[in-house]
Amino acid sequence: MNRDHDGGKTIDGHHSFSFNLNGDEHQGEAEPRLLLSDYLRHHAGLTGTHVGCEHGVCGACTVLVDGEAVRSCLMLAVQADGHEVTTVEGLTPEEVPAATPAEGNGTAGNGAAGAGGVPPLHPLQDAFWEAHGLQCGFCTPGILMTLVPFLEENPDPSEEEIRYALSGNLCRCTGYQHIVDAVLLAAQRQREAGE
Amino acid sequence: MKPAAFEYHRPESVGEALHLLADIGDEGKILAGGQSLIPVMNFRLAQPAVLIDVNRLTELDHVSEEADGTLRLGAMVRQARLEREAAVARRSPLLAEAIPHVAHPQIRNRGTVGGSLAHADPAAELPAVMVALDARFRLARAGGERWVAAGDFYRGLFTTALEADEMLVEVEIPPRPGDAGACFLETSRRHGDYAMAGVAVRTTVDGDGRLGQSRLVFLSVGDVPVEVAAGQVTAGEPPSEELFASVARAAAAELDTVADIHASAEYRRHLAEVLARRALAKAAQRAAGESA
């Protein structure tokens, strides 16, 4: 078949595409049937995006596309073409800052100061760490990626709003209470930092 | 890889998409938000030979109000956007009330108005709401188009009036009368799950406090959105709990509910009756508030 605008198709049925991945321009090539979740894990090597149910129920594969939380198992990799994708790896800088032993034991827990060669965590990750918002951690990347845009839109969320925001993410360990606590803590710190 | 192999096309205009559809016919499937299609492809319950990805069709991305109060929604408007659009809250409170029940926030960020309507899942909220609102759908094909009323669009389980070479491109919601009130309610096991039963209700209350005819359209109780005749008897009646209860009873009696793993037929009918009574009472209350 000879049709125009077939999404950058190459001879062997693969499609080439390019998108912004965690701040960097990324060139990719894949069969159109490859899911974005599988592309991120197996081709881009970003295994922080977890794959659970693969039909849009569990939320473990949630990433940001143009700043909005979406299921990466319900998108084709070729559909990322021209868009901005942020995975959990994109929440924190890649470079580990030099250890600064005097820091790192304040209210911000492990992360914010980046003490002892540990990469600094995103404030939300830091709150999860401190409030025990995870146990096995499988659901955590998807939950973080759901909540980052949520907290931007809702800087002072109620517990009910947090639970509603979490309705698309399954966690089988925590019973959710410590996740809610972590979000409340992160929101409180975010507000205090903004004051 | 989860889905079976397919040929992928990403048209840049509606005209190009329609030519592709005309060319491909039954073998092709339109990929809108993908929140229903990709799951069934991941399970290989669907194995379309050709996908036409319409996500680049920005000309179908409009939400507009006309001077007379008509609301127009492009087929590719994301469901999440309906939650934020002031025009939707103003012109169609019923739609605004139903949207938060559509799956989860992450799904609504991607899922589209046209995709949900054309997919025709009987448990979906938007089809029932559009039937209750007397919406019309614009179906385009290469070299032509037609309008189909939402009530005529749904033909059976996942089956609509769309021909293989047609695409749903726009939804038109007529103006809301000033004395109208509406309510959407559903019950699901967990928030965001498909409803075991749900109902969209519209009614009116005139200056003398009397109801007009009421519209009751149910979801998840049959193969298509199910409108019952029971609401007609409210015309000329003053609102009362007894009236709402008897309408709800009659409405539930009209339904031919079926059992599945989520609910028995009897439980569905029970839910339908309770939801209808509550939604009708709330719609009448809202209508009275607006006409006062």
pLDDT in tens, B94-121: 999 999 999 999 999 999 999 999 999 9
pLDDT at A118 over 90: no
What's the pLDDT tens digit per position in A4-27? 455 566 556 899 999 999 999 999
Residue with tokens 């385009």: B140
SS (H, E, C) chain A: CCCCCCCCECCCCCEEEEEEECCEEEEEEECCCCEHHHHHHHHCCCCCCCCCCCCCCCCCCEEEECCEEEEHHHCEHHHHCCCEEECHHHHCCCCCCCCCCCCCCCCCCCCCCCHHHCCCCCHHHHHHHHHCCCCCCCCHHHHHHHHHHHHHHCCCCCHHHHHHHHHHCCCCCCCCHHHHHHHHHHHHHHHHHHC
pLDDT at B195: 94
CA distance B77 to B170: 10
CB count, 10 Å around CB of B178?
10
Residues of chain A positioned with their CB less than 8 A from the CB of B192: 167-168
Name the token pair of B257.
Answer: 């509910």
pLDDT at B15 over 60: yes
CA dihedral B140, B144, B145, B146 (to 10 degrees): -140
* Inter-chain residue contact B38 with A164, CB threshold 8 Å: no
pLDDT at A12: 65
> Which of A76, A146, A148 is the best mutation test for B, with the most CBs of B within 10 A?
A76
Residues of chain B positioned with their CB less than 8 A from the CB of A146: 105-106
From A23's Cα to the closest Cα of chain B, the distance in A is 21
Find the residue in A nearest to B47 (Cα). A33
From A75's Cα to the closest Cα of chain B, the distance in A is 7
What's the pLDDT tens digit per position in B175-198? 998 889 999 999 999 888 889 999
- Look over chain A and give the mean of its residue pLDDT values, rounded to a whole number: 88
From A105's Cα to the closest Cα of chain B, the distance in A is 36
Nearest to A56 among B20, B39, B191 (CB): B39
pLDDT at A11: 53
pLDDT at A160: 96
Q: Does B47 touch chain A (CB under 8 A)?
A: no
Phi-psi category of residue B150: left, alpha or beta, with phi > 0 → left and psi -120 to 50 → alpha? alpha
Q: Does A84 touch chain B (CB under 8 A)?
A: no
Residues of chain B positioned with their CB less than 8 A from the CB of A150: 105
Proportion of chain A above pLDDT 90, given as a percent:
77
pLDDT at A93: 74
Nearest to A33 among B3, B34, B109 (CB): B3
CA dihedral B79, B80, B81, B84 (to 10 degrees): 130
pLDDT at B288 over 90: yes
CA distance B171 to B135: 7
Q: Does B45 touch chain A (CB under 8 A)?
A: no
Q: Does B81 touch chain A (CB under 8 A)?
A: no
Q: Number of residue pairs across A and B with CB atoms under 8 Å?
A: 104
Nearest to A70 among B53, B106, B192 (CB): B106
pLDDT at B191: 82
pLDDT at B193: 87
Q: Does B25 touch chain A (CB under 8 A)?
A: no
Strands (E) across chain B are located at 7-9, 28-31, 50-53, 63-65, 71-74, 136-141, 144-149, 154-156, 159-160, 167-173, 180-187, 197-204, 215-219, 226-228
Name the token pair of A28.
Answer: 């990719």
What's the pLDDT tens digit per position in B129-170? 999 999 999 999 999 999 999 999 999 999 999 999 999 999
Residue type, B94: L
| Mean per-residue pLDDT, A109-129 | 74
Nearest to B26 by CA among B54, B47, B45: B47
> Which of B38, B43, B112 is the best mutation test for A, with the most CBs of A within 10 A?
B38
What's the pLDDT tens digit per position in A133-189? 999 999 999 999 999 999 999 999 999 999 999 999 999 999 999 999 999 999 999
pLDDT at A123: 95
Q: Does A192 touch chain B (CB under 8 A)?
A: no
Q: B112: which DSSP letter?
A: B
pLDDT band at A96 (very low <50, low <70, confident <90, very high): low
- Look over chain B and give the mean of its residue pLDDT values, rounded to a whole number: 96
From B59's Cα to the closest Cα of chain A, the distance in A is 17
| Mean per-residue pLDDT, B224-242 | 97
Name the token pair of A114.
Answer: 């980046």
* Inter-chain residue contact A5 with B192, CB threshold 8 Å: no
Nearest to A34 among B1, B106, B192 (CB): B1
* Inter-chain residue contact A55 with B11, CB threshold 8 Å: no
Q: Does B6 touch chain A (CB under 8 A)?
A: yes
pLDDT at B178: 84
* Inter-chain residue contact A165 with B39, CB threshold 8 Å: no
Nearest to A54 among B34, B42, B80 (CB): B42
pLDDT at B214 over 50: yes
* Inter-chain residue contact B1 with A33, CB threshold 8 Å: yes
- Please state at what angle helix A140-153 crosses helix A177-194, rounded to 10 degrees: 40
Name the token pair of B103.
Answer: 């799956």
Residue with tokens 């033909």: B155
Q: Which residue has the higher pLDDT, B268 or A96?
A: B268
Q: Does B12 touch chain A (CB under 8 A)?
A: yes
